Copies of this chain bind each other. A is one copy, B any other.
C-alpha cells in the first residue's frame, strides 16, 4: 500500500487525468501529470507536471523516477513508452492490458479465448482480403482499423453496393478488422476495478446511448434482467483476472435478444476509467476515479454503493454553452473540464442527475 503523500504519475492530461488527480487528492495522494499538450486541463490540478512527448525517453525516465506508480488515462500509450516507464516504476494497469486493447483483433481474440461472445469478426490485413471477409460476414458490417480508433474514428460502415476498395482506403490502408453489426437492443457497460490483491468490485451495469458514435448519455442502473447484469459483471471479472489487471476497467457490451432471452456480446475493453463511469462521481459512494487510485496504490477498493437512479449526460462541443442554465437547474451536478477551447465533438463537461430509488 502506498502511503498518503505518495505521488501517482498520470500519462495524459485530459479530463480523465484531471478527474483522477482530483480523486487522488481526496485521499492525500499527489499527482504528477505527463502530457505533450501545454494547456491540458489536468495540469491545473496536479502537484507536478511534465510537458514532453511520449517519445522523450529522458523526460519519461525523470517523470517515472519522481513518482511511486505510473498510470494512464488512455489506451494508446506507445509500447516503447510503457517499456521505458516500467524500467523505473510499476505501471498499472500493466502494459499487457494495453497490448490487449490497442489492437481490435488481439482484443477480440483474447475475449473469445475466455469463452466470452463477441460479434463475428474477420481480420482484413489488406484491401484484397476485404471481399473475402464480406463474403463471410455480409454487408451489414463495420470495417475498423485494428489500432488507434476511438469515438467512431477509424471505422466505416459498409454500404450495399459500396466500393470495398474505397472503404478500405478511407481508413488509410491500415490493417483492419471487419465486424458484423450486432442486432443489439441496448448498449451497456460494466465499470469495475480489480485491486492489487485480486479483489474485484463492479458498479451496477449501466446503459449507454450514443449519438454520432460518441457517448451521449449513461443511465445507471441499466434496465436489464438481473441474470444478465450478473453475467455482464462476471464477464468483466473474467477479463480483468485473465489480464492480471489492476485498476478500473470498462467493458462495453451489446445486449442481443435470443427469443425472450437477453444475451451479451462484448464490444470493447477500455483499460482505464471510462466515460460511462462518470455518473459515479455524484451517484456512488466511491467514484470510479477514486476507485482507480485506490487500486493502483494497492489500497482496498471502496464501496460501489449507488445513491439512486442516475443519469449522466455529456456536454459535447457547444453543449457546454448551456452551463449557466445547467448551473441553475435544481439537482443537476455540473462538471466542467477546464478546456480552453470549445471544439465540435470535444468532450467539454458532463452533468449528472440523481433520482432517489
Contacts and interface: CB of A to CB of B under 8 A. Distances in A.
A4 to B, nearest CB: 5
Interface string A153-166: 00000000000000
Interface residues of A, number: 43
Interface in A200-236: none
A38 interface: no
Interface string A11-33: 00000001001100111101000
B28 A338 contact: yes
Interface in A330-357: 330-338, 340, 349, 354
Tell me what chain A mostly uses at the interface: helix, strand, loop, or mixed: mixed
Given A25-B338, A30-B338, A336-B4, A331 B349 contact: no
A139 interface: no
A175 B203 CA distance: 57
Given A282-B285, A303-B330, A25 B44 contact: yes
Interface string A286-310: 1000000010000110110101000
12 contacts: A4-B338, A22-B22, A25-B44, A26-B334, A26-B335, A27-B336, A28-B323, A28-B336, A30-B338, A294-B327, A299-B324, A307-B307
